[in-house]
Structure 1
Amino acid sequence: MGKIAFVFPGQGAQAIGMGKDLVETDAAARRRYEEADEALGFALSRIILEGPEAELKATANTQPALLTASIVYLERFQSIHGLQPDYVAGHSLGEYSALVAAGVLSFAEAVSTVRARGEFMEAAVPSGQGAMAAVLGAEREALQTLCESISAGGHPVELANLNCPGQIVISGSVAGVQAVVEQGKEAAGAKRVIPLEVSGPFHSSLMRPASERLAAVLEGVAMNRAAVPVVANASAKPVQEPEEIRQLLVEQVHASVLWEDSVAWLIAQGVDTFIEFGSGSVLAGLIKKIDRSVKVYSINSLEALEQFQLTTA
């Protein structure tokens, strides 16, 4: 039997009504949604369950909303199946869900921290000055070189999310991202460059002001040593010590999300089963593109939760 990793999605996976099937049938899940409302001082649960879409999509709401949904699916799953992971990891915001799963952060503390993180990220760059785009089919090194040359010309643009082979998200100034859109095919072999609907240039050096503000908040957040190793986005390496986790969370806001590298590292440690908790199945899709031979499950509904069976074949 190989090892198991629990993984948690980031922004973009959210959907109105996520977790509703649990909230309606499970007192513990309902309590978690109420606890999120109490931690934030407003009805986040109403936004999660009823929308409107525009409110759920606001970064400062999306982040605590996704974390809340991920944790209720995780807790219900563990109460039914009793399965423990060998490692945990999350994509961007999902790293905070992973830290709750590993016992580093309390649920309430994580909810308020990611709310602040979302606010800082939204405020870091004036609206309309930053952009992100998904680059499909490009070579990583060639795209890196292209971004460096455009940035050197005064229009910062960087690799933000290294998701899987052939899927890299870039982030930076509007002019920088536009230059990659125009030159990506020629200079980096990109098949397509798709602008993303986001409220800022996340995971780029333009987010440094958000990192600094988050650092001040994280100083006051109580953290335990991780019960299982957490594979950090910024390093694609395992961490367990609170001080190192704090530092990497600060970096994570303006650094690349090394998702492909993180999954490859986990597979190299003998992980052959990935279980994704939360809304959608974005990570399941990315993991399959990284290595088709691993088993991947998405626990994103009560039905998925109850029908789950670990295949050992």
Structure 2
Amino acid sequence: MGKVAFLFPGQGAQYVGMGKEIADEYKSASKVFDEATEALGFDVREMIFNGDDETLKITENTQPTIVTTSIACMQPLLEKGIRPDFVAGLSLGEYAAHVTAGTISFKDAVALVKKRGKYMQEAVPIGVGAMAAIIGLENNDVIECCKEASQVGIVEPANFNCPGQIVVAGEKAAVEKAAELCKAKGAKRAMLLPVSAPFHCSLLKPAGEKLAVELDMVSLNDIKIPVVTNVTGETVTNKDFVKDLLVKQVSTSVLLEKSIRTMLDAGVDTFVEIGPGKVLSGFVKKIDRDAKVLNVENLETLNKALEVLV
């Protein structure tokens, strides 16, 4: 086996009951939910295991609960001595990557992402912003359509996920115009997404500024495992760059495809998506069909992953 990367999901992957099977089976995983409760001042376990979709969907709940679940689901792998060569995450997932790399303590990370979620939601009033997924167009075509649609308002590429799948974000009318232009250019689909804010575009700069104040109060540790960052798609190994990257990440494009290619080029052949859902696994397969892709979110997927990794 070549090198192994751990990947952590972003917002939208959440569901009621995520991580419960692993927490019930592994004390180390269960303890993570207790630590999150202590850090956040509300019963995280109750919200995730017995709550409802609407509560979990609130951005300032979604972000800490996904990070908590991801870190909990990783514990059995660490117990078995499985350590990644690289870590990365989609947007929010980059915080779980930094926890894994030792850069940020888990308690600091969940407290930060709760505030991050709140600031992101507050930056743009509900109904003003939108996001749309564009399927089946080249990157440059989508960038051109955004430029043309920006006569209507702000619209920018938000996520470069994998070949032929890009998400755009901005003001609702401009996003709708960009989607229309993309369809006219030959996109297979251009659909508005059910999100509460236009993430990863310049409208979110005020959220980044507020997050910067919070990050200033957090002390970072040396990075023990290279983190491939959303903002550049390259590895970061020096903690001095991390705060700036996490601030920029809120209002700039997520370069996921470039991040995966960076790891492939560095010899990674096995990607383990840890936490709720399998969205990132799908992206990796579209980027490189030969890559080995595993996910860990319940006992069945954990046991399958252990068979391959141990």
Give the alignment's TM-score, normalised by structure 1. Answer: 0.96
The one-letter amino acid of 2:23's match is: V
Asked whether 1:145 is paired with 2:164, we answer no
Partner residue, 2:166 = 168
Distance 2:285 2:18 in 1: 23
Query: Distance in 2 between the 1:311 and 1:303 partners?
Result: 14
Q: 1:18: which partner in 2?
A: 18
Q: Which residue of 1 aligns with 2:265?
A: 268
1:236 is matched with which residue: 226, 233, 236? 233
Matches within 5 A, 1:111-122: 111-122=110-121
Deviation larger for 17-26 or 244-253: 17-26
Query: In the alignment, what sits opposite 2:182?
Result: 184
Q: CA contact under 8 A between 1:160 and 1:255: conserved in structure 2?
A: yes
Q: Does 1:95 align with 2:94?
A: yes
Q: Decide whether the 8 Å contact of 2:16 with 2:48 is kept in 1.
A: yes
Q: Verify the 8 A CA contact 1:223 1:242 in the aligned structure 2.
A: yes
Q: CA deviation at 1:259?
A: 0.2
Question: 1:277-304 CA deviation, whole Å, 9 max, x = no partner?
Answer: 0011111111000000110100111222
Match of 1:293, as an amino acid? D
Partner of 2:199: 202
- CA distance, structure 1, for counterparts of residue 26 and residue 82 of structure 2: 19
Distance 1:70 1:222 in 2: 22
1:170-208 superposed Cα distances (whole Å, 9 cap, x missing partner): 100001111022221113x21111111111000000000
Distance, in Å, in 2 between the alignment partners of 1:42 and 1:309 is 36
Q: In the TM superposition, what is the alpha-carbon distance from 1:26 to its structure 2 partner? A: 2.4
Structure 2: distance between partners of 1:49 and 1:209: 33
CA contact under 8 A between 2:149 and 2:175: conserved in structure 1? no
Per the alignment, residue 132 of structure 1 pairs with 131
Cα 1:179–1:154 shift into 2, 3 Å: closer
Measured after TM superposition, the shift of residue 55 of structure 1 is: 0.5
Q: In 2, distance between residues paired with 1:234 and 1:259?
A: 9
2:152–2:177: 8 Å Cα contact kept in structure 1? no
Q: Distance in 1 between matches of 2:309 and 2:6?
A: 16
- Would you say how many aligned residue pairs link Structure 1 and Structure 2? 309
CA distance in 2, matches of 1:254, 1:71: 25
2:253 is matched with 256
AA at the equivalent of 1:106: S
Q: Which of 147, 154, 158 is the aligned partner of 2:156?
A: 158
After TM superposition, the structure 1 stretch with the greater mean CA deviation from structure 2, 42-51 or 59-68, is 42-51
Q: Is the 8 A contact 2:85 2:226 kept in 1?
A: yes
* 1:26-85 deviations in Å (ceiling 9; x for gaps): 222222112111111112221111221000011100100000010011112210x31111
Q: Verify the 8 A CA contact 2:16 2:50 in the aligned structure 1.
A: yes
Q: How many Å apart are 1:12 and its aligned residue?
A: 1.0
AA matched with 1:111: V
Counterpart CA distance in 2 for 1:143 and 1:134 is: 10
Q: How many Å apart are 1:154 and its aligned residue?
A: 4.3
State the AA in 1 paired with 2:159. N
Deviation, structure 1 residue 310: 2.2
Distance in 2, matches of 1:192 and 1:304, equals 31
Measure the CA separation in 2 of the matches of 1:303 and 1:293.
23
Contact residue 160 and residue 171 of structure 1 kept, 8 A: yes
Q: CA deviation at 1:311?
A: 6.8
RMSD of aligned alpha carbons: 1.3
In structure 2, what is the Cα distance between the partners aligned to 1:31 and 1:266?
Answer: 31
Shift of 1:18: 0.5
Which residue number corresponds to residue 35 of structure 2? Answer: 35
Structure 1, unaligned stretches of length 5 or more? none
Measure the CA separation in 2 of the matches of 1:136 and 1:14: 23
Aligned to 1:104: 103
CA contact (8 A) 2:230 2:254 kept: yes
Cα distance in structure 2, aligned partners of 1:311 and 1:114: 30
CA contact (8 A) 1:44 1:61 kept: no
Residue matched to 1:55: 55
Find the aligned partners of 2:136 and 2:44 in 1 and give their Cα distance: 38
Give the letter aligned to residue 123 of structure 1: E
